[in-house]
Amino acid sequence: MNASLWQACLERLERELTPQQFNTWIRPLHVVEEESSLRLLAPNQFVLDWVNNRFSGQITDTLAKFDQGTGTPRLILEIGSSKTATTKTMSPASKPTALKKRLHPTPREEAAEIDHVSNLKPEFTFDAFVNGKSNQLAHAAALQVAENPGGAYNPLFIYGGVGLGKTHLMHAIGNLIVDKKPNAKIVYLHSEQFVGDMVKALQHNSIDDFKRYYRSVDALLIDDIQFFAGKDRSQEEFFHTFNYLMEGQRQIIMTCDRYPKEVDGLEERLKSRFGWGLTVHIEPPELETRVAILMNKAIQSGYELSREVAFFVAKRIRSNVRELEGALRRVIANARFTGEPITLEFTKEALKDLLAVQERLVTIENIQKTVAEYYKVRVSDLTSPRRSRSVARPRQLAMALAKELTRHSLPEIGNAFGGRDHTTVLHACKKVVELRSNDNHLNEDYSNLLRTLTS
Partner 1 sequence: MSIQLPLGIGLRDDASFDNFISGANAEAVSAVQRSARNGGGDPIIYLWGGDGVGKTHLLQAACHQASAQGEAAAYIPLAQAGELSPAMLEGLEQIALVCIDDIQAIAAQPAWEAALFHLYNRLRDSGTRCIIAGNAAPAGLGLRLPDLVSRLAWGLVLHLAALDDEGLLAALQLRARNRGLDMPEEVAQFLLRRHSRDMPLLFTLLDRLDHASLAAQRRLTIPFVKDVVG
Q: Does 276 bind partner 1 (CB under 8 A)?
A: no
CA separation (Å) from 229 to 165, 196, 224, 331?
22, 14, 10, 38
Q: To the nearest whole angstrom, how small is the minimum distance from the Cβ of residue 317 to partner 1? A: 9
Segment interacting with partner 1, rule: CB under 8 A, options 171-179, 272-280, 356-364, 412-420: 356-364
Contact 151, 252 (CB under 8 A): no
Position 19 contacts partner 1 (CB under 8 A):
yes
- Work out whether strand 156-160 and strand 278-282 pair parallel, antiparallel, or are unpaired: parallel
Q: Does 18 bind partner 1 (CB under 8 A)?
A: yes
Nearest CA-CA partner of 296 in 321, 272, 330, 264: 321
User: Quick check: 357 binds partner 1 (CB under 8 A)?
Assistant: yes
Binding status of residue 448 toward partner 1 by CB under 8 A: no
92 binds partner 1 (CB under 8 A): no
State the nearest-atom distance from the C-beta of 13 to partner 1, in Å.
Answer: 12
Residue ranges of E strands in 268-330: 278-282
87 near partner 1, rule: CB under 8 A:
no
- Which residue type is seen at 197? D
Indicate whether 358 belongs to the interface with partner 1 (CB under 8 A): yes
Minimum Å distance from CB 147 to partner 1? 28
Ramachandran angles phi, psi of 320, nearest 5°: -160, 170
The upper half-sphere exposure of residue 309, i.e. CA atoms within 13 Å in the direction of its Cβ, equals 22
Asked if residue 182 binds partner 1 (CB under 8 A), the reply is: no
Binding of partner 1 at residue 361 (CB under 8 A)?
yes
Minimum CB–partner distance for residue 44 and partner 1 (Å): 4
Q: Cβ closer to partner 1: 133 or 352?
A: 352
Query: What is the distance between the alpha carbons of residues 295 and 306, in angstroms, rounded to a whole number?
Result: 8
Helix (H) or strand (E) holding 188: strand 186-190
State the Cα–Cα distance between residues 116 and 216, nearest whole angstrom.
Answer: 9
Q: Which residues, 6+ apart, have CB-to-CB distance to 409 below 8 Å?
A: 422
Binding residues for partner 1, rule CB under 8 A, total: 50
Q: How far is the CB of 278 from partner 1 (least distance, A)?
A: 24
> Would you count residue 257 as binding partner 1 (CB under 8 A)?
yes
By CB under 8 A, residue 69 contacts partner 1: no
Residues in CB range of 358: below 8 A, 6 or more apart: 316, 317, 454
From the list 119, 125, 144, 366, which residue makes contact with partner 1 (rule: CB under 8 A)? 119
CA distances for 432 relative to 54, 404, 423, 443, angstroms: 62, 11, 14, 9
Q: Does 441 bind partner 1 (CB under 8 A)?
A: no
- If one asks whether residue 8 binds partner 1 (CB under 8 A), the answer comes out as no
Among the listed ranges 83-91, 169-177, 273-281, 431-439, the one in contact with partner 1 (CB under 8 A) is 83-91
Residue 367 in contact with residue 398, Cβ under 8 Å?
A: yes
Site of interaction with partner 1 (CB under 8 A):
18-20, 23-24, 27-30, 43-47, 50, 79-84, 89, 119, 161-163, 190, 192, 224, 227, 257, 319-320, 322-323, 325-326, 329-330, 333-334, 337-338, 353-354, 357-358, 360-361, 455
